[in-house]
Structure 1
């Protein structure tokens, strides 16, 4: 059995990574499994532990960093986010294509550790639209919104580090494009 692909979906906060992912995640032909990130932030309304994120304490997260148990990790607006390494490797060895939906900082770490990772950066149609989406969540105070917008400006400068760039003007169309990118890489891997 061939080892599964490691797929990075990244982009600025509010660009719609999760929305786009939901359009292609259940396509059995992609053999996808979603790698659940660990975080120290509090759950948003409707989020479930072990499904959307692995919610943990700052102390336990720092212990995982010290033990080298994370493929990648980042701290953002006072919270840690990261990907458990053993979970990703186990899934890839089973032939599953592992999808990481992660921040730009984490994506850089993964590309260094796994140069064979397929990296896709999702961009918004405009910075104005991105601000509208972030504000539309109505889940964070203005200070955090401003931090997210400032970070997004810097992250947009990182697009050249990714193999593919997909604009999320229409989530279904963006998902179809990402699905075709994954299928192409699956075909190449299976026929090498």
Structure 2
């Protein structure tokens, strides 16, 4: 199993999509946030109410949980079981606290977890953040300045520290060449872990 952790707009989702197109199975997280334009329930996330999320959490139904930008995120035990049963390498995008919870779960269940930090240059992070905000503004007709400010504050604060943790591998995602190199490196690590 591969965990992808990195700052907002670092390229985690792009790398995750690449891994999925190459045969990896994706853990679909559950969240209380509202869907973005084009997102589909059960494909991008499982979108649930706060009540449903907290009920699942209280009943021990999650492997990992996190609170980010005013919303709950997590991956359920049932989702892990569903995806692992497919027999493919597995990938999930998570924050550092979620990564730590998954590593702990992996240790107790015998699942090997490869921890990957996804990085990008400051210029790319800024460009991608602005592009994302412009897309949302275009799609929604009015910008969510409060949400953008909160997200940017998170990026420049807490997320700056995420790269300081220990990871099995670090990849830089500034362009399509980096994407191919990151995929090759992660895939080599997964093959090595599976051959043990």
Tell me the TM-score normalized by structure 2: 0.82
**Residue from 162, 166, 184 that aligns with 1:155:** 162
Aligned residue in 1 for 2:121: 125
Aligned residue in 1 for 2:102: 110
CA distance in 2 between partners of 1:41 and 1:156 (Å): 25
Q: CA offsets per residue over residues 108-161 of structure 1, 9 Å max, x none?
A: 1111221421111101123x4323322321144242222333222122222xx2
Aligned residue in 1 for 2:132: 137
RMSD of aligned C-alpha atoms?
Answer: 1.9
- Structure 1 runs of 4+ aligned residues shifted over 6 Å read none
1:40 is aligned to 2:40 = no
Unaligned runs of 5+ in 1: 1-5
User: Structure 1 residues 45-54 or 17-26, which shifts more?
Assistant: 17-26
Shift of 1:19: 1.6
CA contact (8 A) 2:3 2:91 kept: yes
Unaligned runs of 5+ in 2: 137-143
Shift of 1:58: 0.6
Q: CA offsets per residue over residues 53-109 of structure 1, 9 Å max, x none?
A: 100001110111111111101001110010111221233244222211112221111
User: Structure 1 residues 38-47 or 101-110, which shifts more?
Assistant: 101-110
Aligned residue in 1 for 2:16: 21
CA distance in 1 between partners of 2:155 and 2:174 (Å): 19
CA contact (8 A) 1:21 1:175 kept: no
CA distance in 1 between partners of 2:192 and 2:161 (Å): 34
- SS of 1:114's partner is helix
CA contact (8 A) 1:19 1:171 kept: no
CA contact (8 A) 2:172 2:178 kept: no
Tell me the TM-score normalized by structure 1: 0.84
CA contact (8 A) 1:20 1:172 kept: no
CA distance in 2 between partners of 1:147 and 1:15 (Å): 13
Shift of 1:182: 2.2
CA distance in 1 between partners of 2:17 and 2:177 (Å): 9
- SS of 1:122's partner is strand
Aligned residue in 1 for 2:173: 168
